Amino acid sequence: MRTQHRRTWPAFALVAIGAVVGLFVLHGVAAGVVLFIDFLGFIFACVYALAGEKPSDGVGGIGGPFGHM
């Protein structure tokens, strides 16, 4: 299990705000650029949330069920 608590909600909140802006406020190329950057931010937030997990601690981690093989 993770020994230190990390705040992951701010990263996901920023991604959600960026998605709302890209979907409902911007149009055209600007929306595409914002949503692509938002997509990369979502991947970064997911990796950051799972960083430090041990694959064999029973919660999955980045390796999933095959991480301990």
pLDDT, block means (10 residues), the chain with 69 residues:
71 94 95 96 90 64 61
Say what the pLDDT of residue 20 is: 95
DSSP 6-69: ---HHHHHHHHHHHHIIIII--THHHHHHHHHHHHHHHHHHHHHHTT--TTSSS-TTTGGGTT-
Q: Domain-by-domain residue ranges, the chain?
A: 9-53
Predicted confidence at residue 22, as pLDDT, reads 94
Residue 59 structure tokens: 């919660």
- The per-residue pLDDT for 8 is 86
Tokens of 35: 């949503």
